[in-house]
Structure 1
Amino acid sequence: MHLLYGLLVLLSLSDGFSPNCPGRCSCDSMQAVQCYRLLEVPSGIPSTTKRLYISHSRIPHLQLSNFTQLVALEDFILLASGTESVENDTFKTLSTLKTLEFWKNKLRRVPSALPANLEVLKLNDNSIYVLHRSDFEGLKKLKILELKNNLISSLSPNMFSSLVSLQSLMLDGNNMETIAGPLTLPHLKHMSMENNKLHLIPGSFFTSLHSLQFLSFSGNFLTKIPVNLPKSLLSLKMERNQLKVVRFQDMKYLENLSHLYLSENFLSSIEGAQLLANLTTLELSQNQLRMFPLKLPARLQKLDCSNNMIQKVTAQDFQDLQDLKHLFLDNNVVSLFEAGALQRCSQLSNLALEQNLLLSIPLKLPGTLARLDLKGNAIQDITEGELKDLKQLQVLNLRNNKISALDLKVLEGLPRLRHLYLDGNPWNCTCSLLRAREVLKAKGTDVRGGQCAAPAERQGESWMSSKKIMRQCEHYLHLIEKSKENKKKPKPEDLSSIRISMDDDYYDYELD
């Protein structure tokens, strides 16, 4: 008996087992209780519990009596438990409660009479369709409010007036068509209203948001950038709207703005962005640009112009972008890439040119490049001159081009190459490719692809791994070596036994 009791004590210390812990729950020494697949809030939860997590249960209704004994509770999280309603004043007496989260339930309104010490309230993925000012009265310490993926259709200016400490407000994925201002939240830093149905943001909406730094209206029906944005703004997200023009003249007072996201709109040109002097990230993917944006900010570090209709790239486009590190021009129709167009970009490390109309690799690319993506062009040859300065290149993507051979000097000039993608090219698998294989193996380069298109007898084989090609070429190379050494007809011998180590350093004779 004593031995059994000792084992139970040991288990309680090591596995979180507690004789006072309710069924289908686990209790640990940090006063945390986790419960799964319940039909009600269990009555035997220790009164010292600070964190209560209930998940994937069937608890349609919460009531005051469920929590009267939990006098130390600080965090309550209820996830995917089918909860539809909460009795009035259920949480009112929980003076220590700081975090209340109801995720993926069926609430139709905000729980009433929430405790004054609450700092985090997350009611995402419910069925709340209307907000009342009384829902948030007394919550002067609330810092985070999330109401994402509900059914809220409007927002009035005095809705959150009592939330004097609020720093983050998330209202993504609702049915909001109208919002009114001013929104009086003096300490608000983050606000997101993504994926709603907004057509217009009133000019008065931001007049009292003096601390706002991160703002997102992505996924709405806005035709212009809101006016009177806070000067404190650092990041503005306007993707997936209906913008046709951006008037940077009206935004030049945003001297702190560093990130601007305008992808998936209807922009046909971008001019005047240099007025946002501190902009470091500009995303313009999936618009209707036919030419490269004019006069970009000199401090720009990331520029995404992918999925547009840009036809050419010239040195004039990049003459002032010396801080640029990441450039995305994939999925355009670039056929002209001026030699040295990017040479002023002395910090460029990532260049994406996939799915364009290039016939060759652009000349005089910056030596700082670490990744170069050229997938899906019409490149036929790779010459030493095109890549000779790319001593820092680590990733080279050449998939789906028209390349049939690799120049050894090109590979030898890329000392840091770690990943090479060759799929979808019509490789002519003569034995000369084996020297390229050895150079790549010596570097430790991870090579993907390399299937033979010719000659016919090697079609479908991989010149990087086919043992058949290796055997055939070893035989051939051995004969060449013997011819050089003896300069006379070799003695008859069993050619099937000839093997040459492909790892030998003296592998330096010429191949056809």
Structure 2
Amino acid sequence: FRYSLKLEEVFLHELEFSSLPSGFFRFNRKLQTLSINGNKKLLSVEREWFKNVPNLKILNLMNNSISSLQPGVFDDLEDLESLFLSNNPVGSLDVKLLSKLPRLEALELAGMSLTTLPIGIFDNLADLEELDLGHNQLKKLDSKIFRNLFSLETLLLAENGIESLSPELFYGLRNLNEIDLSGNELTTLDTHVFRDCLNLEKLDIASNKFVTFNLPQMSFAKTLLDLDISDNMLTTITVTEDLETLFANDNQITGLESVASPSHDLTMLSLANNRLSDVSSILIFTDLEYLNISRNNFNQLDLGRLTGSLDELEVLNVSHCGISSFGNPNIANQESMKVLDISHNELASLPLEVLKHFPEMEMFVFGGNKFEDLDADRLIQHFKDMALVGVDGTEWSCGLVERAARTFEDNDIGFWSGELPVVCSGRAFNGICCK
């Protein structure tokens, strides 16, 4: 880079070098972005590398094998705004490591085998907005560790083995908007733990050990808009009228509870893989646009009652529920429905008399039921805007699949496949199992 006097960005990725000459960047004073990523032979970082790059704004040292960071190594980078150190086996950090980085706005320290943080390490980072400490072993956090982080908006603490949080831990974080505490060992939250976080809107506490959660009792109840509490041990959950998004998959929930209110703001709800047998507790959320209640046990689902109450619904997933009937076919038309998944149930026939009341459907997934007949022409007749159909899960006749494929292709309709690859025991046509 000796003659690249105007160079502003340098990316040294997966080059397998173990060190750099001390004056390697001495001719690159205009350098603003430096990324040294994925060099597994790189064990240490030298302060001399950064002495001649005073304008550096972004420094990425992720995914190397750096085992220690010496005090003062970043002291010449006073204008640095983003520092990414994740996925290096550092183990511990010196209290003064970041003391000369007053303009830092984003800091990533994830996956660094950290077991503790020295009090004061973040004290000079008043402009810091994003901090990622995920995937370490920070089981206990001192109540003063985040003091002075007055600008912090996003805090990621996932996968640390945290069992409890001090009520004072987040004191002063008035701008905190999002916190990720997923993958820890939490069983409860102190009702006042976020009392100073007046702008907290997004909370992720998935994959913990909660048995119950009562959002209205929390100090942040009025500001929270987005909650993920999936993969816990919940049997009950109570939400507020202000919540807009709730993911509570993989629990043991039999129904939702909510504060009494003339209206609720919930627009996205996912309760997949719970113990629901009735949708009554869901019907009060009349603004719902997205609903996933797959992998529950309904047997018979009154689709007319559900969509009649939730007339803004655009996406509905009721797959893997053991449904054998959708009830009375005389339901009102609902033009908002765009995506419907009824796959992997016990339906003996494709219930077009019910489904025709969703004329604006664009994606329809229905494979894995008990019927093996498919009238593609009739399907298209009902759904003029159809773009994707999902048929995986049923071993159709190969001749039927071939005919249907031609019909769908003539009408610009494609076959949808799930995230997992389909493995056929016998023949296949266009990736669809058939016999």
* Bin for the TM-score computed over the shorter chain: 0.7 to 0.9
Correspondence for 2:299 among 362, 365, 380: 380
- Residue 68 of structure 2: aligned partner: 154
- Structure 1 residue corresponding to 2:366, chosen from 437, 449, 473: 449
1:396 equivalent in alignment to 2:316: yes
Q: Could you say if the C-alpha distance between residues 449 and 466 of structure 1 is closer, same or farther in structure 2, counting changes exceeding 3 Å? A: farther
Distance in 2 (CA, whole Å) between partners of 1:289 and 1:165 is 43
User: Where does residue 289 of structure 1 map in the other structure?
Assistant: 210
1:218 equivalent in structure 2: 134
- Greater helix content: 1
Residue 290 of structure 1 contacts residue 308 of structure 1 at CA under 8 Å; is this kept in 2? yes
Change in CA separation of 1:373 and 1:328 when aligned onto 2, cut-off 3 Å: same
AA at the equivalent of 1:360: D
Question: Which residue of 240, 243, 252 maps to 2:162?
Answer: 243
- Residue 300 (1) aligns with residue 224 (2): yes
Which residue of the other structure, out of 261, 266, 277, is the alignment partner of 1:348? 266
Q: Structure 1 residues 463, 269: closer, same or farther in 2, change over 3 A?
A: farther
Match of 2:121 in 1: 205
Shift of 1:157: 3.3
Relative contact order higher in (CA < 8 Å, ≥ 6 apart) = 2
Matched, 1:116 2:29: yes
State the 1:164 CA deviation. Answer: 1.0
TM-score by structure 2 length?
A: 0.77
How far apart, in 2, do the equivalents of 1:349 and 1:374 lie?
14
1:267-346 equivalences in 2 (<5 Å): 267-272=186-191, 273-275=193-195, 276-294=197-215, 295-296=217-218, 297=220, 298-313=222-237, 317-319=238-240, 321-322=241-242, 324-338=243-257, 346=264
Partner of 1:55: none
Q: Give the greater-gyration-radius structure (CA).
A: 1
| Residue deviations 1:438-493 (CA, integer Å, cap 9, x gap) | 334x344532116553xxxxxx42567598xxxxxxxxxxxxxxxxxxxxxxxxxx
State the superposition RMSD in angstroms: 2.4
Question: What SS class does the counterpart of residue 388 from structure 1 fall into?
Answer: helix
Describe the shift of the 1:365–1:167 C-alpha distance in structure 2 as closer, same or farther (beyond 3 A): same
Per the alignment, residue 56 of structure 2 pairs with: 142
2:353 matches 1:435: yes
Which residue is equivalent to 2:412? none
- Residue deviations 1:201-220 (CA, integer Å, cap 9, x gap): 11120111121110001111
Query: How far is 1:267 from its partner?
Result: 0.8
Summarize the Cα distance change of 1:347–1:409 in structure 2 as closer, same or farther, 3 Å threshold.
farther
Q: Give unmatched runs, 5+ long, in structure 2.
A: 379-435
Q: Deviations over 1:369-423 (max 9, x none)?
A: 1110010001122234444221110111000112211235675253311111111
Letter in 2 for 1:198: L
One-letter code of the match for 1:144? I
For the pair 1:105 / 2:15, whether they are aligned, the reply is yes
* Separation (CA, whole Å) in 2 of partners of 1:439 and 1:368: 20
* Cα pair 2:271 2:293 within 8 Å, conserved: yes
In the alignment, structure 1 residue 419 sits paired with structure 2 residue 339: yes
The letter of the residue matching 1:307 is D
How many residue pairs match? The answer is: 363
TM-score (norm. length: structure 1):
0.66
AA of the residue aligned to 2:232: N
3-state secondary structure, aligned to 1:435: helix
Which residue, 338, 346, 357 being the options, matches 2:275?
A: 357
Among 275, 283, 288, which residue is 1:369 paired with?
Answer: 288
How far did 1:437 drift? Answer: 4.2
2:356 partner amino acid: E
**Aligned residue type for 1:308:** N
Q: 1:476: which partner in 2?
A: none
- What SS class does the counterpart of residue 249 from structure 1 fall into? coil
Question: Shift in Å at residue 277 of structure 1?
Answer: 2.1
